[in-house]
Amino acid sequence: MSIKDWPEQERPRERLLKFGANSLSDSELLAIFLRTGVKGLSAVELSRALIIRFGSLSNLIQSDKQHFCKGYGLGEAKYVLLQAVMEMASRCLYQRIGSHKTGNQKIEHQNIESQYIEQPQTLSSPCQTKAYLQSRLQHQKEEVFSVLFMDNRHTPLHFETLFHGTINAASVYPRVVVKRALFHNAAAVIVAHNHPSGSAEPSEADISITHKLADALSLVDIRLLDHFVIGHGEMTSLAEKGLLT
């Protein structure tokens, strides 16, 4: 049966308009994105089948092009559309919390790529800071390590992604973090990295590099306030777990 033949109060689009997007299930939201089903399956039935195949809506959204396009009823056009939607949502969130680009400043280091330096001006609470970091890192397909530089009142100064690849003592260089902190005249920093696997549980390597960073920063009178490990829809604070030092 086509969705058009469903009672109006059961149709995803009509329910979204009446009750809001948060009233819909994952499969109903995906059905609106897909717009149509395939032969023998309505858009909602297809969405349920896709979520089961990928394991979750998050896994589907974060899958690479090759795996995404193997999904029944999906293809390159849908993949491009999804990437555009995700990027618009991310930019909207950044603008809501007040970040803006201040220039394309190249960082000279073998493990650091050219990137925009961002100044999140209105991160005035721990909740906003967590939301900002989570929005920046949770959808990354590779592991990245980022730093939020702050003044002596813990007001954010700049945000930078410094390292890409597996995060361990060999790939994160405390001296580079210290150098960038001094460059921004920071009095404190918060570091964060993501786990593309989805788990936000800190590893032994995460704890080890945290201690190395705290020791290196303390030598120049800069405090490491926290280290966040970010998964899919969750994040762990090493400070809250008592693992910072």
Whole-model pTM: value is 0.60
CA angle 54, 57, 63 (to 5 degrees): 55
Q: State the pLDDT at residue 83.
A: 85
140 φ/ψ sector (left φ>0, alpha ψ -120 to 50, else beta): beta
What the block records as the tokens of 32 is 């609106």
Q: State the pLDDT at residue 225.
A: 94
What the block records as the tokens of 39 is 């032969």
pLDDT by 10s per residue, the chain, length 245? 567 667 777 889 898 998 888 888 999 999 999 988 888 888 899 999 999 999 988 888 878 888 888 888 888 999 899 888 877 876 776 565 554 444 434 444 444 443 444 555 556 667 778 888 888 887 787 889 999 999 998 888 888 989 987 666 447 899 999 999 999 999 999 999 999 888 899 999 999 999 999 999 999 999 999 999 998 878 999 999 999 87
Tokens 């990027």 belong to residue: 87
Q: State the pLDDT at residue 233.
A: 77
Amino acid identity at 169: A
CA distance 176 to 224: 14
Q: State the pLDDT at residue 57.
A: 86
CB-CB neighbours of 87 under 10 Å: 11
Q: How many CA atoms lie within 13 A of 158 on its CB side?
A: 20
- Sheet strands side by side (includes 188-194): 99-105, 115-120, 156-164, 144-150, 188-194, 223-230, 235-237
Q: State the pLDDT at residue 141.
A: 78
Q: Which of 105, 117, 110, 94 is nearest to 186 (CA)?
A: 117
What the block records as the tokens of 114 is 């050219």
Q: State the pLDDT at residue 102.
A: 41
Read out DSSP for the chain? Answer: --GGGS-GGG-HHHHHHHH-GGGS-HHHHHHHHH---BTTB-HHHHHHHHHHHHSSHHHHHHS-HHHHTTSTT--HHHHHHHHHHHHHHHHHHHHHTTEEEEEEEPP-BTTB--EEEEEETT--SHHHHHHHHHHHHTT-SS-EEEEEEE-TT--EEEEEEEEESS-STTT--HHHHHHHHHHTT-SEEEEEEE-TTS--PPPHHHHHHHHHHHHHHHTTT-EEEEEEEE-SS-EEETTTTT---
